Chains A and B, each alone.
Chain A
C-alpha cells in the first residue's frame, strides 16, 4: 500500500462525491443545495488538480484535463452565485448553478473512471 496513492484516490473520489452531493436534489429548489457544499467541492477539486500536476504519462494528462474541466465549471458556478446572489429570482439562479455543477460532475465522473481503469490495469 502506498500512502501517496491513498491520498490521491481519496481526493479524486471526494471531489466527485461532494460534487454529487451538491448536485442532488430538485434543480430549482435553493433549499436542496447548500453553498458550503459547493465551497467544499471547489476546494477539494482544486487540491485534486494540484495533486495531478507533474504526471507525464498519457493517463496523467487526461486526469489533469478532466480536473481542469471540473474546476472551470465549479468556479463558474461560484462566480455566478457571488455576482447574481440577491439580484435575480432565486430558483432560476440555483438552476444555473446546479446545472453547471452537473457538468462538473460529469468531468469528475470521467476522472474517477480513469482512476479505476488505471488501477485495474495495474499488474500488482
Chain B
C-alpha cells in the first residue's frame, strides 16, 4: 500500500503546488486591498480572515462579503481571485478523480492487495499458475480438503468464474502473467508457508518459464508442471522440477494397466479420485487388433503402450507426413471407407484420439455402425462437450484435464500416496484385487480419504511421549477407536516409511518408532478421530492397555494408593 500512496502523491504534485501558489497570491492580495469597516475607518483584512474568504470562494461555497461590505478595490481583487482559485481547484479535483479511475493505478492497487492477502496467510498453501479446466478441479478439491490455494491467471473471464464459485475459504487471485517473476513473488514464492507451485497452462513454454523461475527463486519449493513435449519435459527435469505431468503418457500408462492388470488400475483410480465419489466398475479392454484414429501425441502414447502389451494396432491418420507415421492408412476415420480399409469389422477396439471432439464422436459413431461389438476409447478435449460424451457413453473417455488433476492431487494431498502407487504397479493383479476387497470391507464403496501421519513431537506428541517412557506403541493401537478400544476405526495403514525405506501394507503388529511416516486411507470419521490418539497421551494409554489414567496429580496418587491396597 505504501508504494501506491507515493504514486498518488507524486501524480498530485502539480495540482497541489498550483493550488498552494494560487491561494497564496489570492490571500496576499486580499490582505493588501484597503477596505472600510462599519464605522467608516480604513480597514485591512487579516491573513486568517483572507484565508477563510478565499477557501469558501475557491470551493464555490460563497458565503458573501464577510465581515463588512467590501470596498471597490477589495471587490476587484475578489473577482480576480475567483478565476484564479476556482479553476485550479477543479483541476485538482478532476485530477484526483481521473487518478482513481486510472487503470495502471487500479492494477497497482489490486496487485498490492493480492500480495498483502497472500502475505497474511497463516496456513500452508499452493500456488496455481493458471485457472484452466484441470486447475479449477484441483482448486476446488484442495479447497474442500481445507488447503489454501492462491491463483494467478492471465485471463480475466476465467477468474470471473472463480469469483462466482462457492469456496470454503477465500482463494486470493490475481489477473496477471505467471511468466513474470514479480507476479510469482506476489503470489508468495518466498512465503515460508508456501508448499509448492503448480503450473498447468496448456502452453509448455509458460510452464517451463514458471518452473525455472520458481526453482531459481526458491529451490526448496515443490514444483508440479505440465509438459506435453518430451524435450520440454527433459528440460524441466534437468533443473529439478519435482513432478512433470504429461497427460498423454499418463493415459497411455493407465490404458496399458487396464489391459494387463485391471485390479491395479481400479486401486489406482480409487485412491486418486475425489473422496466421497463412487466409481463405476471399469471395463476390461479386450485383447485383439485395435484401430487407432489420430496419431498425434495421444495416439502415439496409446499405440506404444498397446504394443507393449502385445496388442496389434492399425493406425488411421489424416496427415501422416506431419505426425511421422510410416505404416498407416491415410484418412480422417470419419468416413466409413477409411474405417473399412482399416478392417474395422474384424477389430476388437477403436481409439478416437484426434484433438477435435466432434471428429472423435463422428469417428466412433461411424465405427459403431460398422461393428457394434467394438470397445470404444474416446478422447475428450473440452469439458463443455460433456453432455455429448455422456450421450454416447464410450467404454473409456479420456479427458486430459481430469487425468492431470488426479495426478496432481496424488502428489499434493498425500505425497506418500504417489510412492504407494508406484509400489502397487509392481505388484500382481491378484494382490491388488485382494487389497481392494480388504479396503472395501473397512471403508465402504465410496472413494476414501487418504492422509499421512508423521510420528514426531509436532504431529504425534502423545506417541513420542509414550515411546520416550519406554512404552511400545504398535500400528494396531492407531486403528482402535479412542472412545471404545474394542471397536476398530474404519481406516487401513497402506504404507509405512521408515528411514527412507517404504513398507507396503505394514502388518498391524508393527511397533512404531519416532520418525516413521504412515499413509492411511479410511472414512472421514476415522480421519477426524485419529488426531485424538496422536495428541492425547491419556487416550492413547487407554487404547493400549485399557487403563483410564486420572487427569489430576492428586487423584492419580489416590488411585495409586488404592491399587496398592
Q: Residue B9 contacts which of A35, A36, A54, A78 (CB distance < 8 angstroms)?
A: A54
Q: Across the interface, name the chain A residue whose C-beta is closest to B15.
A: A50
Q: 1/0 per residue B16-29: CB within 8 Å of A?
A: 11001100100110
Q: Residue B20 contacts which of A47, A56, A81, A85 (CB distance < 8 angstroms)?
A: A47
Q: How far is the CA of A35 from the CA of B16 in the complex (A)?
A: 24
Residues in B whose Cβ lies below 8 Å from that of A39: 24, 27-28, 47
Residues in A whose Cβ lies below 8 Å from that of B28: 36, 39
- B170: Cβ under 8 A from any A Cβ: no
Q: 1/0 per residue B377-393: CB within 8 Å of A?
A: 00000000000000000
- B48: Cβ under 8 A from any A Cβ: yes
Question: Is the CB–CB distance between A54 and B10 below 8 Å?
Answer: yes
Q: A43-B24, A56-B3, A56-B6 are in contact. Are A51 and B17 (CB under 8 A)?
A: yes
- B46: Cβ under 8 A from any A Cβ: yes
Question: Is the CB–CB distance between B6 and A51 below 8 Å?
Answer: no
Question: Is the CB–CB distance between A53 and B46 below 8 Å?
Answer: no
- A88: Cβ under 8 A from any B Cβ: no
Residues in A whose Cβ lies below 8 Å from that of B20: 43, 46-47, 50
- B13: Cβ under 8 A from any A Cβ: yes
Q: Across the interface, name the chain B residue whose C-beta is closest to A86.
A: B46
B443 → chain A closest CB, angstroms: 58
Q: Residue B17 contacts which of A50, A56, A85 (CB distance < 8 angstroms)?
A: A50
Q: Which of A54, A82, A85 has the most CB of B within 10 A?
A: A54
Q: A43-B20, A50-B17, A51-B17 are in contact. Are A82 and B48 (CB under 8 A)?
A: yes
Q: Which of A43, A50, A78, A81 has the most CB of B within 10 A?
A: A50
- B176: Cβ under 8 A from any A Cβ: no
B111 → chain A closest CB, angstroms: 17
Interface residues of B in 24-50 (CB under 8 A from A): 24, 27-28, 31, 46-48
Residues in B whose Cβ lies below 8 Å from that of A51: 13, 17
Q: Residue A53 contacts which of B9, B21, B24, B47 (CB distance < 8 angstroms)?
A: B9
Interface residues of A in 73-88 (CB under 8 A from B): 78, 81-82, 85
- B171: Cβ under 8 A from any A Cβ: no
Q: How far is the CA of A39 from the CA of B12 in the complex (A)?
A: 23
Question: Is the CB–CB distance between B12 and A53 below 8 Å?
Answer: yes
- B7: Cβ under 8 A from any A Cβ: yes
Residues in A whose Cβ lies below 8 Å from that of B12: 53
B89 → chain A closest CB, angstroms: 15
Q: Residue B13 contacts which of A46, A50, A78, A81 (CB distance < 8 angstroms)?
A: A50
Interface residues of A in 32-46 (CB under 8 A from B): 35-36, 39, 43, 46
Interface residues of A in 1-38 (CB under 8 A from B): 35-36
Q: How far is the CA of A50 from the CA of B11 in the complex (A)?
A: 11
Q: How far is the CA of A53 from the CA of B7 in the complex (A)?
A: 9
Q: A43-B24, A56-B3 are in contact. Are A50 and B16 (CB under 8 A)?
A: yes
B497 → chain A closest CB, angstroms: 50
Interface residues of B in 85-126 (CB under 8 A from A): none
Question: Is the CB–CB distance between A53 and B6 below 8 Å?
Answer: yes
Q: Across the interface, name the chain A residue whose C-beta is closest to B7.
A: A54
Q: 1/0 per residue A42-64: CB within 8 Å of B?
A: 01001100110111100000000
Question: Is the CB–CB distance between B13 and A82 below 8 Å?
Answer: no
Question: Is the CB–CB distance between A82 and B46 below 8 Å?
Answer: yes
B55 → chain A closest CB, angstroms: 13
Q: Which residues of B are interface residues toward A (Cβ below 8 A)?
A: 3, 6-7, 9-13, 16-17, 20-21, 24, 27-28, 31, 46-48
Q: Which residues of A are interface residues toward B (Cβ below 8 A)?
A: 35-36, 39, 43, 46-47, 50-51, 53-56, 78, 81-82, 85
What 5 A-B pairs have minimum CB-CB distances, sorted nearest first? A54-B10, A82-B48, A53-B9, A43-B24, A50-B16
Given contact pairs A47-B21, A54-B10, enumerate 8 new A-B contacts (beta carbons under 8 Å). A39-B47, A50-B20, A51-B13, A53-B12, A81-B48, A82-B46, A82-B47, A85-B48
5 A-B contacts, Cβ less than 8 Å apart?
Answer: A36-B31, A39-B47, A50-B16, A51-B17, A55-B6
